[in-house]
């Protein structure tokens, strides 16, 4: 029973970075820009957040600065794919390598590596936090609750506002959107920067609120998991949130099982997240026969008056 | 009979070529020694590489010469070779590497430059002018286990480990054997993270161990995360690589730390004097030979009696009077692993995949 309580209590902490990064990716990709750079932008957010936290020490400011920093770096990506129309896969990969090098170097030069920071205190959602078994789910740092609100806001924006409709139109059929008078490149630029800000927030969550320190390459491939999460969620924010919770739950379960001293096959346990990904992929593929909800123009550069 | 053996040895030496012959009288440098180090990470990484950089500064004083270094050289031939080529072109004739992943490239470089002395920390390859070295970390981790049990109220210790390799498993067993010296009932729960340096996984592992009642957390991972989490949760821990009380002063009661200068200073003096003979199997350094040592807290959480016990064991190890993996020793399933009067050979140490009684791990 203790296992269940601790496990459920720790799961949101692991789920939030996946959820925020996936949401940022969905926002960008809904506008038709294939964003593979999440791993790099998360590192930028993580480093900027830690730098700010070491300097000023106000977590809210650090998280905002992390979002701005990731947004600023994404301008480089926007320049490559929107203006120079470089292949979006290559530009995305280049962005990851660039950010890995940049953050590794900056972290070393400024001496931010391994320096512990204070995060944020947890907030209890009373009386939910008094519930048996699941109570610990409602004792989290404020950004966990805020993530839910961010999801509601982004979904509302994408599906309930005219701007959101236009953004999706740009991703589905930029020529038609252009004919309707929507500035395609402006929308795509905004989607890239806004998405990057959310991805940067995901990175800052890991560094500032979860591990409370910086180490080069500390995101450890979580940006790539977010990329696959988006595909598996078929660009739906709620499904991405569910996927993030699933991954977070598994990541939280592995050490909890190990710590109880149950003798399980070690390599089997470490394999579980990947095995579960495969199973869910198969289940999703078998379960739904509806046409893929991938944005129609995903990965295609927009050139006015060019035939598709 | 003896003659045959001798002939065999001579044949082997001939097969090894001219380089092999040089081994007999020791490597002679062609010019005054000029030492350079190649680091795998930035020099202020807080752990492995920083320990080497601290040793470098001590060596500079002791050997009275500047020692160059190159930082963040990744573990592939395409990255290592040009760096070492350039160092040698600029006159360096003693190259010290710092990574397991440099092993194969260093062997090739050692053949390419037979007049240059190569040393490689945590490497696996050796030659007439190349020596790999590593520490018997189980000795210092044994002392950390003693300190952990001394600081523990519950007798339930936790251990955050990277991967179930021989040199990780030997520290876990040693940690438990040390803990039993203080509290025969002490147990160690182990969580493997599957990564050497992933603060997210290390945090999760530490939290899980504390959730399950552990009140002192040992570690064999690269980042100080387990110590930071221990401090946050108001429990204690023991560090690895360096004195981690730098990061978690309230939590860290003891650290296993590298003291490479104690090994490298005499070794480099031999290189300089021209009578260096690299070990054919690599140097696996005991505390006496200068691999590791501990840094023990002054905190009264460790009682004077226990402190005396730890210091006594440390003195034994430093004097080379104690061999930890000697028989009789059985694993947790009751199978005898080292017979009475026997000492475990190094080859078996590297393959250790069994645990002593009191260790709880996954399989």
Q: Do A206 and B203 touch (CB under 8 A)?
A: no
Locate the domains of chain A by residue range: 2-116+142-287
DSSP conformation letters of B96-117? EE--GGGHHHHHHHHHH-TTSE
For B242-303, the DSSP string reads S-GGGT-TTTEEEEEEE-THHHHHHHHHHHHHT-B---TT-EEE-TTTTSEEEEE---TTS-
All residues of chain A having their beta carbon less than 8 Å from the beta carbon of residue B155 are: none
Q: Is A146 on the interface with B (CB under 8 A)?
A: no
Contact status, residue B35 vs residue B118, Cβ threshold 8 Å: no
Q: Do B25-135 and B138-258+294-360 come out as alike in CATH topology?
A: yes
For A2-116+142-287, CATH gives 1.10.3470
pLDDT given for residue B85 in this prediction: 97
Domain B138-258+294-360 top-level CATH class: alpha beta
For the full predicted model, state whether its pTM sits above 0.80: yes
- CB under 8 Å to B247, separation ≥6 — which residues? A114, A116, B46, B224, B227, B228
Each of the 308 residues of chain A gets a pLDDT tens digit; together they read 688 888 888 899 999 999 999 999 999 999 999 999 999 999 999 999 999 999 999 999 999 999 999 999 999 999 999 999 999 999 999 999 999 999 999 998 898 988 889 888 888 888 888 888 888 888 899 999 999 999 999 999 999 999 999 999 999 999 999 999 999 999 999 999 999 999 999 999 999 999 999 998 899 889 998 998 898 888 999 999 999 998 899 888 888 888 887 777 777 777 777 787 778 778 777 766 555 578 888 988 888 877 65
Separation between Cα atoms, residue B44 and residue A117, nearest integer Å: 17
Strand partners, A123: A140
Q: Which CATH architecture has domain B25-135?
A: 3-Layer(aba) Sandwich (3.40)
Looking at residue A113, what DSSP letter applies?
B
Report, as ranges of residue numbers, the positions in chain B whose pLDDT lies below 50: 1-24
The pLDDT, as a whole number, for residue A188 is 97
A182: contact with B, CB 8 A cutoff: no
CA dist., res. A259 & res. A307, Å (int): 59
Q: What is the pLDDT of residue B18?
A: 41
Task: Say whether B119 sits in a helix, a strand or coil.
Answer: strand
Min Cα–Cα distance to chain A from B276, Å: 36
A2, A140, A211, A218, best to mutate vs chain B, most B CBs in 10 Å: A211
Q: Which residue from A114, A213, A258 is facing B362, i.e. has the nearest CB?
A: A258
Instruction: Provide the token pair at B72.
Output: 């963040």
Contact flag A261-B193 (C-beta cutoff 8 Å)? no
Query: Phi first, then psi: what are they for B144, rounded to 5°?
Result: -65, -40
Task: Give the minimum alpha-carbon distance from B349 to chain A in angstroms, rounded to a whole number.
Answer: 21
Q: Name the minimum distance, in Å, from the CA of B257 to any CA of chain A.
A: 17
Identify the pLDDT of residue B8: 43
In the prediction, which pLDDT does B1 show? Answer: 38
Domain boundaries, chain B: 25-135, 138-258+294-360
- The pLDDT value recorded for residue A289 is 56
Model pLDDT, residue B3: 40
Q: pLDDT at position B23, please? A: 44
Nearest-5° angle of CA A118, CA A123, CA A129? 140
| Residue B163 touches chain A, beta carbons under 8 Å | no
The pLDDT, as a whole number, for residue A290 is 57
Contacts with B42 from chain A: Cβ below 8 Å: 104, 108, 113, 216
Cβ pairs bridging A and B (under 8 Å): 115
Chain B residues 54-83 with CB within 8 Å of chain A? 71-72
* Residue B357 neighbours by CB under 8 Å, 6+ apart: B330, B331, B332
**What's the confidence (pLDDT) of residue B25?**
57
Q: Measured in Å, how far apart are chain B's first and last C-alpha atoms?
A: 48
pLDDT given for residue B20 in this prediction: 41
Q: pLDDT tens across B196-225, in order?
A: 888 999 999 999 999 999 999 999 998 899
Q: Does B193 touch chain A (CB under 8 A)?
A: yes
Structure tokens at B217: 């957390």
Among A104, A108, A210, the residue with its CB nearest the CB of B200 is A210
- Main-chain dihedrals φ then ψ at residue B98, nearest 5 degrees: -135, 25
Q: Which of A2, A17, A114, A219 to mutate to test the interface with B (most CBs of B within 10 A)?
A: A114
Residue of B nearest to A262 (CA): B362
Residue B360 sits at the chain A interface (C-beta within 8 Å)? yes
Check residue B11 and give its pLDDT: 42
B79-116 pLDDT, tens digit per residue, is 999 999 999 999 999 999 999 999 999 999 999 999 99
Chain B interface includes A151 (CB < 8 A): no
Contact across the interface for A265 and B362, Cβ inside 8 Å: yes
């Amino acid at each position: 029973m203790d296992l269940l309580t601790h496990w459920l209590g720790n799961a949101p902490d692991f789920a939030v970075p996946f959820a925020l990064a996936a949401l940022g990716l969905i926002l960008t990709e809904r506008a038709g820009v294939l964003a593979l750079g999440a791993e790099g932008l998360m590192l930028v957010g993580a480093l900027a957040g830690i730098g700010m936290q070491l300097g000023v020490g106000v977590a809210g400011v650090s998280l905002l600065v992390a979002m701005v920093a990731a947004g600023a770096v994404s301008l480089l990506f926007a320049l490559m794919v929107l203006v120079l129309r470089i292949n979006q896969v290559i530009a995305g990969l280049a962005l990851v390598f660039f950010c890995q090098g940049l953050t590794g170097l900056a972290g070393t030069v400024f001496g931010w590596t391994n320096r512990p920071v204070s995060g944020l205190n947890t907030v209890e959602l009373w009386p939910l936090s008094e519930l048996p078994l699941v109570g610990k789910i409602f004792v989290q740092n404020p950004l966990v609750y805020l993530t839910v609100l961010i999801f509601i806001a982004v979904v509302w924006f994408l599906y309930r506002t005219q701007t959101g409709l236009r953004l999706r139109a740009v991703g589905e059929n930029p020529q038609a959107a252009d004919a309707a008078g929507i500035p395609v490149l402006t929308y795509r630029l905004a989607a890239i920067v806004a998405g990057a800000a959310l991805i940067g927030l995901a990175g800052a969550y890991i560094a500032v609120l979860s591990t409370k320190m910086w180490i080069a390459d500390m995101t450890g491939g979580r940006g790539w998991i977010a990329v696959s999460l988006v595909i598996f969620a078929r660009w739906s924010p709620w499904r991405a949130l569910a996927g993030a919770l699933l991954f977070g739950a598994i990541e939280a379960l592995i050490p909890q099982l190990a710590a109880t001293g149950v003798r399980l096959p070690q390599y089997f346990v470490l394999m579980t997240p990947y095995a579960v990904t495969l199973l869910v992929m198969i289940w999703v593929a078998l379960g739904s026969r509806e046409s893929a909800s991938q944005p129609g123009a995903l990965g295609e550069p927009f050139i006015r008056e060019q035939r598709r | 009979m003896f003659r045959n053996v001798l002939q065999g040895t001579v044949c082997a030496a001939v097969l090894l070529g001219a380089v092999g012959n040089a081994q007999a009288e020791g490597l002679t440098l062609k010019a005054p020694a000029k030492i350079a180090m190649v680091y795998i990470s930035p020099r202020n990484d807080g752990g492995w590489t920083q320990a080497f950089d601290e040793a470098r500064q001590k060596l500079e004083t002791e050997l009275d010469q500047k020692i160059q270094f190159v930082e963040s050289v990744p573990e592939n031939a395409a990255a290592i070779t040009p760096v070492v080529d350039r160092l040698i072109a600029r006159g360096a004739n003693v190259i010290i590497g710092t990574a397991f992943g440099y092993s194969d490239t260093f062997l090739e470089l050692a053949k390419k430059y037979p007049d240059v002395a190569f040393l490689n920390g945590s490497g696996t390859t050796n030659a007439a002018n190349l020596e790999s070295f590593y520490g018997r970390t189980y000795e210092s981790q044994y002392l950390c286990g003693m300190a952990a049990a001394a600081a523990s109220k519950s007798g339930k210790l936790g251990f955050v480990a990277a991967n179930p390799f021989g040199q990780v498993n030997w520290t876990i067993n040693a940690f438990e054997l040390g803990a039993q010296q203080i509290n025969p009932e002490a147990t160690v729960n182990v969580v493997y993270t599957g990564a050497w340096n992933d603060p997210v996984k290390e945090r999760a592992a530490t939290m899980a161990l504390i959730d399950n009642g552990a009140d002192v957390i040992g570690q064999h991972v690269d980042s100080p995360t387990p110590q930071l989490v221990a401090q946050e949760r108001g429990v204690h821990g023991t560090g690895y690589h360096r004195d981690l009380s730098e990061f978690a002063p309230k939590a860290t009661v003891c650290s296993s730390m590298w003291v490479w200068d104690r090994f490298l200073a005499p070794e480099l003096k031999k290189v300089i004097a021209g009578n260096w003979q690299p070990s054919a199997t690599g140097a696996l350094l005991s505390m006496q030979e200068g691999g590791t040592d501990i840094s023990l807290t002054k905190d009264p959480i460790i009682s004077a009696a226990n402190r005396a016990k730890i210091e006594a064991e440390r003195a034994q190890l430093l004097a080379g009077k104690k061999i930890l993996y000697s028989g009789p020793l059985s694993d947790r399933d009751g199978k005898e692993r080292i017979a009475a009067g026997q000492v475990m050979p190094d080859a078996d140490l590297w393959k250790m995949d069994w645990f002593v009684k009191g260790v709880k791990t996954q399989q």
